[in-house]
Structure 1
Amino acid sequence: MAQNTKNGKTVTADDGKYSEYQPGKSWDTDEFVASNSPITVPYKYAGLFLTYTMLVGFGLSIMLAIIFRFEETTYTHCRVANYFPSTSAAIATTPSAYVWRLVICLCSLPRLLFVLYCYHFYINVSCQLRYYRGLCHLCFIAEMLENLSLIGLSCISSDDNYDIHEILFISFQVGAMLHMILMCIVFKMATTRYDDVRSDTGIFKRKGALQRKMFFCVMNILAFLISIYFFFRHQNRCEPGVYSLFAIFEYLVVLTNVLFHEDTWKDFSNRCIIYGGRTHNKLMTE
């Protein structure tokens, strides 16, 4: 960089480009040019990353618990034979705990950001149906409760503090079920105006998306209710293998939850996340 004085003013040369310096004017803020190109990430790939990270991390946590901590993670107060660890028992022991917490670290921020984006998207849909906006608010609260509870129960394992972990697990499942039910209702209300446009091929995709959401929602609730049945049956009767059945249906609860979110992310597969961009403050201010 070279500086020359011309007619009482300082001219700065940088790579053959000249800009006039004016006293009292901030060079760094008013003349800053950022030439970095924006990074574009399609929602489709972001959703796939979150889905497969959650599924692979969850499956790996269960496998590691069976391989390295089988006796510890399948032990219950009844001391009867069991073959699969519960989710809480698996993610409470190492090395499974390290894997699951890494997954939560990678996925929590994108999931929370998507909650905000999804809320702002649906709340701005032009829908005149009664209670629509109120349901959008409730859906947002339920999804935030689900995600924050998931972070909490992942950080505080059942071995660390069983009572707090239990409360967080209950709030997670309640938030997840409420969110899935409300999301199905909100999605149907938001796309009602397309029902009469039978020539629009997008209708069939929207109807298919609603059916998938309802399927995962119903399967999640059924799996949760069945797991609760086997849990209390194990607590009261202490039958061999019953706790393993509870664990299997608990796995289905996690699986259907992840797939429901993956289907919700698919709704925005034609959109992109853009990081950064070109900024020229002088042009913006002028």
Structure 2
Amino acid sequence: MESDDTSVPMLGSQTTSSSRGRVSLLKVRHVSIIASLLPASALIICVLTSLHMHFYQTTNTHCKVKNWLPSLSALVALRPEKYIWKTAVALHFWPRVMMMVTYFQYNRMRDSSFWSWLVEIIFFLELTCLTVLTCVTSLDNFRVHRNSFFAFIAFSTLHMVVRVHQSRRLLKRNYMTLTLVKRKLMITVLYFVSVILAALMYIMHNTLCIAGFYTLFALCEYIVVIINLTFHNLVASNFSDHLLFIKPGELFAISA
């Protein structure tokens, strides 16, 4: 990946001041890690809390068979789990938006086609659907929660596919390494397989009512979340040597 020629003084400082306002410098890698750790740590805390406080409520289904793990929808429907999850997703939203703007600005200079717009629009729709299904739990409004979940899966999968395609375009222009493109493709395939397995486990649980299938469905959901976060970190790794330059009205990446 080629580096930008732009440089600024005081790269070692996180904040500085100028006549036009306060300036902040953040490492892209750190922003991405924080954005991923928030939902990942919240997921672990919510699972442990749910198993300890609401095991029966979150693992019991209409089949009345034994299960050992709660699904994501059941996991974040009760207190305090739903507040933990909502807080984590809300805090992780803006770092993701910052990353989205950074990706767009960086890639638009290297690929002026509509793909640079399309991939970030899909990325934003993915974030929006995640926020909606988080704010509206299955107990609040099942239909809205269900539709938001399906939309999130659709947009997140599409985001990965289009992002890989755009990465292949950048590879031809020597702005991307072949190894990184292959890793994105592998993660995308794993994500798709995990989504299919989750759907199969859910259908088999509802139709056959065999003990354990709901647990396997929940486990597949957890894997889907982890793979999604992994993909986002992989995308950010293309900017591991960049800083986010932030000041009122402006946000862009610079080479460290």
Q: Same fold (TM over 0.5)?
A: yes
Quote the Cα distance in structure 2 between the aligned partners of 1:213 and 1:219.
10
When Rg is computed on C-alpha atoms for both structures, the one with the higher figure is 1
Aligned to 1:51: 36
Aligned to 1:161: 141
Aligned to 1:175: 155
- Taking only aligned residues, the RMSD between alpha carbons, in angstroms, comes to 1.9
1:67 aligns to 2:47 (yes or no): no
SS in 1 for 2:228: helix
Q: 1:106 aligns with which of 76, 91, 96?
A: 91
Aligned to 2:105: 120
- Structure 2 letter corresponding to 1:177: T
5+ residue gaps, structure 2, are 1-17, 249-256
Aligned partners of 2:137 and 2:145 also within 8 Å: yes
List aligned pairs for 1:79-90, cutoff 5 A: 79-90=64-75
Aligned to 1:270: 241
> In the TM superposition, what is the alpha-carbon distance from 1:267 to its structure 2 partner?
1.0
List aligned pairs for 1:79-228, cutoff 5 A: 79-126=64-111, 133-194=113-174, 206-228=177-199
How many pairs were matched up?
Answer: 231
Quote the Cα distance in structure 1 between the aligned partners of 2:44 and 2:55.
15
Q: 2:212 aligns with which of 234, 241, 253?
A: 241
Q: Percent identity?
A: 24
Quote the Cα distance in structure 2 between the aligned partners of 1:164 and 1:261.
26
For 1:124-173, what per-residue CA distance to the aligned partner results, in whole angstroms no more than 9, with x for missing partners?
2147xxxxx23333312221111000000000001111111000000001
Quote the Cα distance in structure 2 between the aligned partners of 1:137 and 1:96.
36
> In the TM superposition, what is the alpha-carbon distance from 1:58 to its structure 2 partner?
1.5
Quote the Cα distance in structure 1 between the aligned partners of 2:170 and 2:154.
24
Aligned partners of 2:201 and 2:213 also within 8 Å: yes
> In the TM superposition, what is the alpha-carbon distance from 1:120 to its structure 2 partner?
2.7
- Structure 1 letter corresponding to 2:66: A
Aligned partners of 2:32 and 2:99 also within 8 Å: no
> In the TM superposition, what is the alpha-carbon distance from 1:57 to its structure 2 partner?
1.3
Q: Greater CA deviation, 133-142 or 64-73?
A: 133-142
5+ residue gaps, structure 1, are 1-32, 128-132, 195-201, 278-286
Quote the Cα distance in structure 2 between the aligned partners of 1:149 and 1:140.
14
Quote the Cα distance in structure 1 between the aligned partners of 2:244 and 2:109.
19
TM-score calculated relative to the size of structure 2: 0.85
Change (3 A) 1:120 1:275: closer
TM-score calculated relative to the size of structure 1: 0.76
Aligned partners of 2:65 and 2:211 also within 8 Å: yes
Quote the Cα distance in structure 1 between the aligned partners of 2:122 and 2:25.
29
Quote the Cα distance in structure 2 between the aligned partners of 1:156 and 1:73.
17
